[in-house]
Amino acid sequence: MLRKLCLVLCLVGLACLTAYADIPFSGSGSSGTIAPGQPFTYDADGAIVEGDWGVPGVGSGILTWTDPTTIHDFEITFTLGSGTILDPAQVIIGNMSACAGSSGGGTTFCSIAGSMAFLWTATLNSTDTGITFVAPAGGDLVTGDTFFTNIFFSGPDPNGAAFSGAWTTGGATTPEPSSLLLLGSGVVGFAELLRRKRNV
């Protein structure tokens, strides 16, 4: 009985830890919120240059990351109509900008820790309908950091198009204290089981 209890506690503790590995999201419409509670907006700047999507929106400033998960990658794919793609020329601008965060800054993901700004590497998928941003060394998004992302489209304005994606860790996460307590209980119970078995 004790052995089964220890095994269950260990498995539940591990499941709680791994639940924080990724934060999937999806959405549609001109504006709204994506998990874990970040606002997004299409054409926040009035689509001055071309159609765009951003968190919180192009020209709308920055947000503070409050989730305990440490983020290393951000990926998103849009369901775009005929003739609309993510503008490759804007991705090039974004990869060269210093986190400009405007129509002149291009397609950009920038994390800001204190006075340091980190421009994430952007890679379009093969159909130019999705993009992945990867943090540079030291640039992971952690609790208390600020950030923004801007994405620009080419072709007919996709305002309101559906999308899906995920915030991913690419490594370790910061688990909740309750998860650590549960895992620790399982480990202690398992150690006690081993000790009793040796003494028999």
pLDDT tens per residue across span 116-141: 999 999 999 999 999 999 999 999 99
* Number of domains the chain is built from: 2
- Count of H-run helices and E-run strands, the chain: 3, 13
| 8 and 62 inside one domain | no
Domain span holding position 52: 21-173
* Least confident segment among 15-19, 110-114, 140-144, 170-174: 15-19
* 90 & 158 share domain: yes
pLDDT at 199: 60
What is the predicted pLDDT for the residue at 21? 67
- 11/74 same-domain check: no
What confidence score (pLDDT) does residue 48 get?
86
Q: Encoding tokens for residue 107?
A: 């397609």
Measured distance CA(119)–CA(99) in Å, rounded: 6
Q: Tokens in use for 90? A: 């804007």
133 and 180 assigned to the same domain: no
pLDDT band at 49 (very low <50, low <70, confident <90, very high): confident
Residue 43 is classified by DSSP as S
Residue 194 DSSP symbol: H
Check residue 178 and give its pLDDT: 41
For residues 47 and 78, membership in a common domain is answered with yes
Task: Report the 3 state secondary structure along 99-138.
Answer: CCCCCCCCCEEEEEECCEEEECEEEECCCCCEEEEECCCC
Whether 21 and 173 have beta carbons less than 8 Å apart is answered as yes
Q: Is residue 59 located within the same domain as residue 131?
A: yes
Q: Are residues 191 and 156 in the same domain?
A: no
What pTM value is reported for the model? 0.76
**Residue 43: pLDDT above 70?**
yes
> Which tokens go with 9?
């506690």
| Residue 98 pLDDT class (50, 70, 90 cuts) | confident
Spatial distance between the Cα atoms of 59 and 187, rounded to a whole number of angstroms: 49
Identify whether the C-beta of residue 71 lies closer than 8 Å to the C-beta of residue 149: no
Q: What percent of the chain has pLDDT over 90?
A: 64
